[in-house]
Amino acid sequence: MSPSLPWIAAALDELNSAGLLRYRRESRFLADGRYEMDGRPVLDFASNDYLGLAGDPRLVSAAMAALSDGSVGARASPLVCGHGEWQQRLVERLAAFEGEPDAVLFPTGMAANIGTIAAVCGPDDLILCDRLNHASLVDGCRLSKAKMRVYRHEDLTTLERELAKETSSVRRWIVTDTVFSMDGDIAPLREICEIADRFGAELIVDEAHGTGVLGAHGRGACEALGVEGRIAVRIGTLSKAIGTQGGFVAGSLELVQYLWNRARSQVYSTALAPPLCAAATEAINIIEAEPWRRTRLGDVAARFRLRLQESEIETIVTATGPIVPVLLRDPDAAVGIAARLLQRGFLVGAIRPPTVPHGTSRLRIVIHSNHSNDDLARLANAVREEIQSLPG
C-alpha cells in the first residue's frame, strides 16, 4: 500500500469543516432518460444532456456499429495512426454542421480548451478573461504564458479599459464562455466583438453549452447572435447536448492544421474512441433533423423560469436558456435542499465554491427537451416548498 500523506488528511478535514467536501456518487442512468438512485428512479435535472440524446437508441446503434467493426479504442494518437474512418467521418460532419472548412477532435472539451488556447496564444500576448470562465479556459490561458487580465463578469467597461491600457502585446485576445455554465447567461458577444474591432483583438469562445441548444441551426450562441464570422476560434464539446464525449474546434484549414501540429492535448493523447465518434456523428444528424428538440427546450425552460419567478424564488435574472440557477448563497442550504429534492424524486445539482464564488452557492437545475410539463410543474412546487421550509 502507498504511504499516507498527513497534509492531505488535514486538507480534507479543512474542506469538511467549511461544508465544501465533495463525495463521489454512483449514478445509474436508465435507457428511458430517467436516473436511478439506490434502486429508486428519480428525474434527472442535473446532467447536461439537454436534448435527451445521451441514451437515444440511434446513438447506441451507431456506437454498436463501430464496436462490431472491432474498434473499441483508437489505439494511438491521431498523428501516429489513431485517426481512422470513424474520426474522419465525425470531423467532416462537424465541419459541415458548423459551416466551416474543417475540424479537429480532442479527447474532451476540457482538453480542447487547454490545448487550443495554449497553442494559439503565446508569452508575448495579452488575454482578457471573464471572471466566470470555465476552469479549462483559465488553465489554457495560464499554460499559454500570456499576460492574463481577468475582468468582472461581463463588465465591458473594464474590458475596454484593460485593452486601452495595454498596447505593447503582440496579439490581444478576449476569451469567454458563450453560455456561462453556472449562471446560465449568454455573453454579450455583439458588444464584445465591437470592442475587439476597435482594439484589434480577436475572440476565442467556448460553446460548450451553446452547441445544439441555441441558434437557428443549433450551432450555438455565436449563430444566435449573428457573430460567427467575427470569432477567430470557436471551441465546442461533444459531451453536453451532443450526448457523447470529446471536444472539437471547427475552423479554417490553416487553424485546423495548426492545431493538428501544435495543440499538445491533441498531439500527445490517444484519438477519440470510434464508438464515441460514431455516436456523435449520429447525434449531429439528429440535431439537424429534429429542430423541435431545441425549440421545445427553449419553451419549457422559459416557462419553468417564469413559474419560479411567480413563486418569488431567487434565480439569476440574466439566465435565459436551459440552465436555471436558484440562489441560496449558503453551501449547507444548497446541499440540504438538493438532498431533500432527491428524496422527493428530483436530481438537481448543488453548486458550491470553488466552482462558484463564495456566498453564491446555488441549486443548478438543468432542463432537458424531454422533461414533461407535469415534471416541471412538480419540481417547481417542490423547490418552492423546500425553500419555504428553510430555517430563518
Ligand X SMILES: *Cc1c(COP(=O)(O)O)cnc(C)c1O
Work out how close the CB of 262 gets to ligand X at its nearest, in angstroms, rounded to a whole number: 20
* 264 C-beta neighbours (distance < 10 Å), count: 13
- Which residues are marked as active site? 181, 209, 240
Strands 172-177 and 126-130: parallel
> To the nearest whole angstrom, how small is the minimum distance from the Cβ of residue 206 to ligand X?
5
Q: Identify the CA nearest to 109 among candidates 181, 174, 44, 164.
A: 181
On whether the CB atoms of residues 42 and 35 are closer than 8 A, the answer is yes
Where helices occur in the chain by DSSP H, the ranges are: 6-17, 57-68, 85-98, 109-120, 135-144, 156-165, 189-199, 221-224, 253-262, 264-267, 274-289, 292-310, 331-343, 373-388
| C-alpha cell belonging to residue 70 | 472491432
Among 33, 78, 84, 109, binds ligand X (CB under 6 A): 109
- Smaller CB distance to ligand X: residue 184 or 247? 247
If binding is defined by CB under 6 A, does position 110 make contact with ligand X? Answer: yes
Decide whether 294 or 380 has the Cβ nearer to ligand X: 294
Sequence-ordered list of residues with C-beta below 8 angstroms from that of 159, at least 6 positions apart, any chain: 128, 151, 174, 192, 195
Of the candidates 83, 134, 172, 294, which one interacts with ligand X according to CB under 6 A? 134
> CB of 111: closest distance to ligand X in angstroms?
7
Q: Which is nearer to ligand X, 115 or 218 (CB)?
A: 115
Question: If DSSP codes are grouped into helix, strand and coil, which group holds residue 190?
Answer: helix
178 binds ligand X (CB under 6 A): no
When the beta carbons of 185 and 375 are compared against ligand X, the nearer one is 185
User: CB-wise, 186 or 382, nearer to ligand X?
Assistant: 186
Q: Determine the 3-state secondary structure of 228 from DSSP.
A: helix
> Using the rule CB under 6 A, which residue among 49, 125, 160, 177 binds ligand X?
177
Should residue 116 be labelled a site residue for ligand X when binding is judged by CB under 6 A?
A: no
Distance CA 247, CA 299 (A): 28
To the nearest whole angstrom, how small is the minimum distance from the Cβ of residue 129 to ligand X? Answer: 13
Piece of the chain touching ligand X by CB under 6 A; list 107-115, 158-166, 214-222, 249-257: 107-115
Choose, by CB under 6 A, the member of 87, 136, 144, 361 that binds ligand X.
136
- 174, amino acid identity: I
**113 lies in the binding site for ligand X (CB under 6 A):** yes
Number of residue whose CB is nearest ligand X:
109
Cβ atoms of residues 251 and 95 within 8 Å? no
Q: How far is the CB of 240 from ligand X (least distance, A)?
A: 6
Interaction pattern, residues 206-235, with ligand X; x per rule: CB under 6 A = x-xx--------------------------
**Structural contact between residues 149 and 102, judged by C-beta atoms closer than 8 angstroms:** no
Q: From residue 97, give the alpha-carbon distance in Å to each of 109, 284, 312, 333, 342.
A: 18, 7, 40, 42, 37
Q: Does 181 bind ligand X (CB under 6 A)?
A: yes
Q: What DSSP string runs through 327-392?
A: EEESHHHHHHHHHHHHHTTEE-EEE-TTTS-TT-EEEEEE--TT--HHHHHHHHHHHHHHHHTS--
* For ligand X, the closer CB: 181 or 370: 181
Q: What is the Cα–Cα distance from 246 to 273, expressed in whole angstroms? A: 9
Least distance from ligand X to the Cβ atom of residue 244, Å: 9
Q: Taking contact as CB under 6 A, which single stretch among the options 108-116, 269-277, 317-325, 363-371 is the one that binds ligand X? A: 108-116
Window contacting ligand X (CB under 6 A); options: 76-84, 86-94, 103-111, 271-279: 103-111
Separation between Cα atoms, residue 260 and residue 78, nearest integer Å? 8
Instruction: Provide, rounded to whole angstroms, the least separation between the CB of residue 389 and ligand X.
Output: 31
Q: Which is nearer to ligand X, 144 or 239 (CB)?
A: 239
Tell me which of 71, 144, 176, 237 binds ligand X, using CB under 6 A: 237
Binding site for ligand X (CB under 6 A): 108-110, 113, 134, 136, 177, 181, 206, 208-209, 237, 239, 247
